[in-house]
Structure formats: structure tokens, C-alpha cells
Chains A and B, each alone.
Chain A
Amino acid sequence: MAAQSQFTSQLKRYYSLYTGGVIGFVVLLSILEQMGVPNQTLGYIFLGVTVSLYAGIGILSKTSDVSEYYVAGRRVPALFNGMATAADWMSAASFIGLAGTLYISGYDGLAFVMGWTGGYCLVALFLAPYLRKFGQYTVPDFLGARYGGDGPRMIGVFAAILCSFTYVIAQIYGLGLIVSRFTGLDFGVGVFVGLGSILFCSFLGGMRAVTWTQVSQYVILIVAYMIPVIWLSVKHTGNPVPQIAYGYVLEQVTAREKVLNDADTPDGAREAEVRGILKQRQTDTEARLRALDAGGENYLAAERSRLAGQVAELRKRHAADDEIADAEQALGAFPQDVAAAKNAWRAEAEADRLKSSPIAAHAEPYAGPDEETRDNKRKNFLALVFCLMVGTAALPHILMRFYTTTSVKEARLSVFWSLLFISLLYLTAPALAVLAKYDVYTLLVGSSFSELPSWVSAWASVDKALMNVSDINRDGIVQLAEVTIGGDLIVLATPEIAGLPYVVTALVAAGGLAAALSTADGLMLTIANALSHDVYYKMIDPKAPTGRRLAISKGLLLVVAVCAAYVTALKPGDILFMVGAAFSLAGSAFFPALVLGIFWKRANKAGAIAGMVSGLSVCMIYMYITYPFFGVNAPLWWDINPISAGIFGIPMGFVGVIIGSVLSRPPTAKVQALVDYVRYPNIAGDEGRSAS
């Protein structure tokens, strides 16, 4: 006990010093910036220093002790486990994507905020204390011990790898984007730089190294997220607590939305004019699509030569340079074949349709033109919240963290700390979205094209998908319908919107990197441990000596990393869908079997196998037949989007466990005793076993 409290106070001292060091480092770099060090160099220094810091902690924590390697010696204090869990939890999608999603979808995006926090109630009430009492190394460990035999463990390993791998791809993808954007390196190189530092952290020290790097990554990511938002809040409201201040900003945004949607006001009339042009464009594109369906290749060739003719014609009469440039660009981007043309024009028509409709009110839940659309949105909102919550309480890399605390009591407490540290960011993201929207609606809209705010022109020159303004009605003034903003821009550009120096932009990039690295760390370790501990040690060679077990785990980590990098380099699409899919898959596979294993003594092996297999299959089949990427495009069930496939998989899992268990013999007395052992933090005669 005394040793543990000394350890805790030592940790507090180290990490206070570390936090001070981080702030000092930022101050130092801003002085360098004032002295005229170029931005590119500052970006390199920032990424280089933070990444080598994580690697340094990784090297310091190297270990060859099994308990240290798999569960950090089970002596992580609740507070620090909370920070590590928070970093493990908040991925690139939370850090960079969330505020953007909220900016674009308003109230409906809050499904992610609730879903990604409320799940911790389920972790606290149903899993964390009991898994800690069970006290082994992995989630499949629990399935193996509770249900007996290799069947449930094997399915657990398969599901753990499936959802962790889906999730890790999304992280590495984010990693590659951040590194390449802020250092100018190629996307592929970015992926490998990021991966190298992940490996450094987890390769030598396993869970121990991952835990202590995650704590330091949490500090960086939360500081990086808060500074610009606080600044922006002071700028617009004079109040440094954005979470409280933005209610009134939201009122102003709502009022502004009404003005812009009302064609009787001068601003609204200009918006209506632009929307009219966009509507016309959409109708034109749709007409071209129909002509393409009828004429095929011939129509495409005719269109292409018409464009070429236009360019020549403009040149001949010496038209304005930008007019010629526009026409040339249109010709250069002209689709090569019929299939490409169809896709491109469909996307164009859809984008114009979206921009030509009135602005959806930010705070209005389930906005839609008719009752059916609104009901549909409500249904999908609730389904998504449910899947994200249950998935949270089933993702192996999160549950694994609760094995590392010193006791059951600490495990319960540590859920609280985790949720607190996570909520700091999740309470701030909606505020950021509203503050950024206020900036765009009041400062950007109505400004003149000749003097755009500097952040707008800076980002528009980097990436047209993130930021694009074009004077559609040629009146020289920016209308909202002329602005295209990509979700990821919000977090990345906040420091510039708030008028902060470049150092803060680099800090935000480092924060995003920390978020992606910490999550990827935890996930890769989960995959390697499932293979080395559950498959190799528990099923293939239970007599394997410690040294060989750890060597195999480290080797597998390398293999997993290379596979993940390879798949990521193929750029398999939509990050948000992959993240959502991982939650639905984890929820369907694990949650029913884990929870019933603790709360229902009658649950047995046949039930666990039936529940896990049926839950997982329903979830996978639904995704396969409905997600457009796979090309089946079957009709949706009750209009539920493929991302929420868990809404079918999770209940199916429960039904499977119950039916399978009732139809076969009850579990043995030994297994029932294990359930009792897990339920009570201390039960008479326990001491011998809890020493493990």
C-alpha cells in the first residue's frame, strides 16, 4: 500500500513537470516564430520532438516481465488509468473529425457526442469492476475461462482482431494525413513515420510502455484542443469558458440562419439568388446525365469537343485570364469514360442540390421537409447512439485497460476519471462547431471577395475539398451558398480563425497526431496480444516459457503493423464509416456474451457460441448487403443505415446466448464459482486466487 501511494505521488510529480515542460516548449517555439523561423521548420520540430518523446518513454518502459508487458504490472492508479483510457479512446476521428461533423450536421451530429460518452455508464455498471476482479490479461481470456473450451475464446479472438483492425486502419489513415499535411511528406511516407513511432512505444514495453505514453499523449492532445477554442470563445463572447458561453452564440447563429433563409432581407435575397443558380446547375447536370444514358460514348466525345471549342473561342477573342483558366480547368478535369462521367456528374448534382436547399438550423433536431424524413432521422439517431454506446462497452482495447488498475475499487473509480477526461473534449467540440459557424456566418458571409479573411485564402490554396469559395453570382460578395467547407477544416483552421500564431497550428497538428498514435498503440497491442496470448500460449503451446511468449508477441506486433500499413496504403475510403463499423461489430460480438457471463449464471458455452456467432453474422451480413462499397445495395431494414448494423446484431446476440444456454446443460459448479468470484470484490477464501 505504502509503495503504491509513493508510486502515485511520484507519477504526479513527473507528469506535472512534464506538463510544465510541454507549455515551456510551446512558449519557446513561439519565441522562435517571432524571431522569424519559417513555419515548415516549426512543424518539423514540433512533430519530431513529440514523436521522439513518445519513443523515449517507450524505451524507458521496456520490460520482459509478463504481467508488466500485458497489464502494466496492475499498479496503474485510477487517475492515470483514466488519462490513458481517454487517450486510448479519443482517436483522430474524435480529435479532428467530430467538431467538423457537428458543424455540418448540427444537432444530428450530437449522436456521436452522446454515444461516445454514455457507453462508459455501461462499462462502469456491467464490465469494468468484474473484469478487474477476474484479473487475467485479455478479453478472450474471460470468455475462455467463463465458458470453457477453445470455441468461445477463438470466436473472441476473431472478433477482437476484426474490430480492432478495422479501427486501426482508420487511425493510421488519419496519421498519414496529418503527417503529410504538416510536413509536406508523401502520404505513404507519413504512414510509415507514424507507424515507426507506434512500434517504438509498444514494441519494447507492451502495455506498460503504452500506458505511460498514452498519459503523456493525453496531456498534449487536450492542451492542443482547448487553447484555440478558449481563444475563439474570448474573441466572440469575452468569456474564457466556451462550454458555458456558446449558448448565446448559438442564439445568434440561429437568428442569422433565419435572416439568410428569408428572401425578403437583403442578405437573404442574395442567398436566394445564388441558390437559384445552383438549382439551375443541378437541373443542367441531371439533363446531361440523362443525355449520357441515352448517347453513351458519343455524347461524351461531343461534350468534350464542345468544351475544347469553348477554350479556343475564348482565346481567340482574348477573354479575361481567369475566364480562360476556368474553361481550361473544366476541360482538363473532363471525365475520361462513361462510368467516370456518371460518377462525377452524379456527385456534382448532389453537391449542388445540397447547397441550393435552405440552411438547416443548427440546433433543430431531425430537420426535414416532411414527417417521414424527420422520423427516419430520429430513428437513425437513436440507433447510432445505441450502437456507439454498446460498442464502447465492448471494444477490447478499452476493456483491457481496466485490467491494469490495482483493485476493483480503483477500477470503478478509474471509469469515472476516464469519462471525466473524455468529457473535457466532448463538451468542447460542440462549442467549437458553434463558434466556428458564428465566425463563418457573420464575418465570412457578406465580406468582399477582394479581401477575404486570411485563413480562408490560406486554406483554399491548400485543399479545395476543405475550403472553397467561388463567386457564383459574380457580385463580389461572399454568400453562404458559395462557401464549401470540409468537416476536417474546423479543428485544423481554428487557430487561424482565432488569429493565433502558427505555433498553435503546429500544436493542434501534434495533438491530432497524439490522438491517432495513442489509439493505434492500444489497438495494435490488442491484436498482437490476442494472437500471442490467446492463440499461441493458451491454445497451441501452454508450456511456452515467458521469454518465448513475449518474443512472439513482439514479432506479431511487427507483422500486424506491416499488414495495417499495407491495407491503409490502399486508402479504403470513409473513415467515419470504418470507425462506426468497428463499434457495431464489437457490440454485437462481445457485449451479450460478456454481460450475461457475469449477470446470468445459467449462460453456458453453447449459448456463448450461438450468441457471438449469430450477433456477429447478422451485423456483418447487414453491413455487407447495404453498404454501397460492397456493391450489393439491398434495401435497408426499417431504413436503418449500415453504420448502425449493431441495432440488429446486439439483440440477436442476446437472443442467441439465451436460447443456446436454455437448450443445453447448465454450466458446472466450478464455472458458477468463478461467476461468484467475479461478482464480489472479496469473498471468503479468495486470497489465494486474488494474488495473481
Chain B
Amino acid sequence: MQAGERHRRYWRSNLRMTGALLAIWFVATFVVSWFARELQTLTVLGFPFPFFMAAQGALLIYLLLVAFYAWRMGKLDEEYGVGEDA
């Protein structure tokens, strides 16, 4: 029941993906909010861009991010044979 090489590779892919998604999360949330005043002149659907991001854009990105993670991890589980039905 010790984790083998295969498991370590699975875990590394998981960490890489977690890191990448976390970076997207960070940019959508904190970087955009930090520069909110500078981005004020851009317009999306009638909204100033920072307002759109904080009220809608970021939420949609979070949703996509969580959906992608659930889907991709399911695939990864199968690929490495660590899925629950394996």
C-alpha cells in the first residue's frame, strides 16, 4: 500500500495543475482588483471592466476553474489507475 513511482507522477501532475489553477485564481481576484482604478476606462457589456470582473467575471472564472479541475482530475485518476472504480 506504499505509493509507487506511478503515484508520485500522479501527485506531481496534480500539484502542477493545482498550481496553475491557483495562479489563474490569483490573477482574476487580486491582480485585477489591485489595478482596478487604472482599468476603469475599459468597458465590457456597458460595465467598467473592474466592476464587471468583481461582480461577474471573476465568478464565472471560478466556476470554470472548479469544473475544469473536477473533469481533469477524473481523467487523471483513470490514466494513472488510481480512480475509485479502478
Q: Which A residues lie at the B interface, using CB under 8 A?
A: 107, 110-111, 113-114, 117-118, 120-121, 124-126, 129, 243-244, 247-248, 250-251, 363-366, 374, 378, 381-382, 385-386, 389, 407-409, 412-413, 415-416, 419-420, 423, 426-427, 430, 599, 673, 676-677, 679-686, 690
**A407 cross-chain contacts in B, Cβ below 8 A:** 84
Q: Is the beta-carbon distance between B82 and A680 smaller than 8 angstroms?
A: yes
Q: Is the beta-carbon distance between A125 and B36 smaller than 8 angstroms?
A: no
Please pick, from B45, B50, B69, the residue contacting A412 in the complex, using a CB distance under 8 A. Answer: B69
The residue of chain B having its C-beta at the shortest distance from the C-beta of A119 within the complex is B62
Scan residues 47-86 of chain B and give those whose CB is less than 8 A from a CB of chain A.
47-48, 50-52, 54-56, 58-60, 62-63, 65-67, 69-70, 73-74, 77, 82-84, 86
Please pick, from A110, A385, A419, the residue contacting B30 in the complex, using a CB distance under 8 A. Answer: A385
Given A124-B66, A423-B63, A683-B3, A114 and B46 contact (CB-CB distance below 8 Å): no
**A118 cross-chain contacts in B, Cβ below 8 A:** 25, 29, 58, 62
Scan residues 8-53 of chain B and give those whose CB is less than 8 A from a CB of chain A.
10-11, 14-15, 18, 21-22, 25, 29-30, 33-34, 36-37, 40, 44-48, 50-52
B2 → A minimal CB distance (Å)? 7
Q: Is the beta-carbon distance between A366 and B36 smaller than 8 angstroms?
A: yes
Tell me, in angstroms, the Cα distance from A111 to B53 when the chains sit together.
11
Most buried by B among A419, A686, A690: A419
**A681 cross-chain contacts in B, Cβ below 8 A:** 77, 82-84
**A408 cross-chain contacts in B, Cβ below 8 A:** 84
Tell me, in angstroms, the Cα distance from A110 to B51 when the chains sit together.
8
Secondary structure class of chain B's binding surface, majority of residues: helix
Query: Could you list some 14 contacts between A and B, CB below 8 A?
Result: A110-B51, A114-B59, A121-B66, A126-B18, A244-B45, A365-B50, A374-B37, A381-B33, A419-B63, A426-B59, A676-B1, A676-B7, A681-B77, A690-B84
Please pick, from A111, A244, A364, A378, the residue contacting B34 in the complex, using a CB distance under 8 A. Answer: A378
Q: Is the beta-carbon distance between B77 and A121 smaller than 8 angstroms?
A: no
**A110 cross-chain contacts in B, Cβ below 8 A:** 51, 54-55
Please pick, from B18, B46, B56, the residue contacting A243 in the complex, using a CB distance under 8 A. Answer: B56
Tell me, in angstroms, the Cα distance from A681 to B50 when the chains sit together.
39
Q: Is the beta-carbon distance between B86 and A121 smaller than 8 angstroms?
A: no
Q: Is the beta-carbon distance between B46 and A416 smaller than 8 angstroms?
A: no
Q: Is the beta-carbon distance between B1 and A686 smaller than 8 angstroms?
A: yes
Given A366-B37, A409-B74, A117 and B62 contact (CB-CB distance below 8 Å): yes
Q: Is the beta-carbon distance between B63 and A420 smaller than 8 angstroms?
A: yes
Q: Is the beta-carbon distance between B36 and A378 smaller than 8 angstroms?
A: yes
Q: Is the beta-carbon distance between A114 and B54 smaller than 8 angstroms?
A: yes
Tell me, in angstroms, the Cα distance from A415 to B29 when the chains sit together.
19
Given A382-B34, A415-B70, A114 and B29 contact (CB-CB distance below 8 Å): yes
**B60 cross-chain contacts in A, Cβ below 8 A:** 423
Q: Is the beta-carbon distance between A125 and B21 smaller than 8 angstroms?
A: yes
Q: Is the beta-carbon distance between A251 and B46 smaller than 8 angstroms?
A: yes
Tell me, in angstroms, the Cα distance from A415 to B36 when the chains sit together.
29
**B46 cross-chain contacts in A, Cβ below 8 A:** 247-248, 250-251
Please pick, from B56, B69, B83, the residue contacting A427 in the complex, using a CB distance under 8 A. Answer: B56
B12 → A minimal CB distance (Å)? 11
Closest 9 CB pairs of A and B: A247-B46, A685-B1, A365-B36, A110-B54, A412-B70, A430-B55, A247-B45, A247-B47, A248-B46
Tell me, in angstroms, the Cα distance from A113 to B51 when the chains sit together.
11
Tell me, in angstroms, the Cα distance from A673 to B3 when the chains sit together.
8
The residue of chain A having its C-beta at the shortest distance from the C-beta of B70 within the complex is A412
Given A107-B54, A682-B82, A121 and B65 contact (CB-CB distance below 8 Å): yes
**A120 cross-chain contacts in B, Cβ below 8 A:** 62, 66
Please pick, from A366, A427, A680, A683, the residue contacting B55 in the complex, using a CB distance under 8 A. Answer: A427
**A363 cross-chain contacts in B, Cβ below 8 A:** 47-48, 51
Tell me, in angstroms, the Cα distance from A684 to B86 when the chains sit together.
10
The residue of chain B having its C-beta at the shortest distance from the C-beta of A251 within the complex is B46
Q: Is the beta-carbon distance between B66 and A107 smaller than 8 angstroms?
A: no
A4 → B minimal CB distance (Å)? 13
Q: Is the beta-carbon distance between B29 and A385 smaller than 8 angstroms?
A: yes
Tell me, in angstroms, the Cα distance from A676 to B7 when the chains sit together.
9
Tell me, in angstroms, the Cα distance from A430 to B53 when the chains sit together.
12
Please pick, from A113, A413, A673, the residue contacting B70 in the complex, using a CB distance under 8 A. Answer: A413
Given A385-B29, A420-B63, A680 and B21 contact (CB-CB distance below 8 Å): no
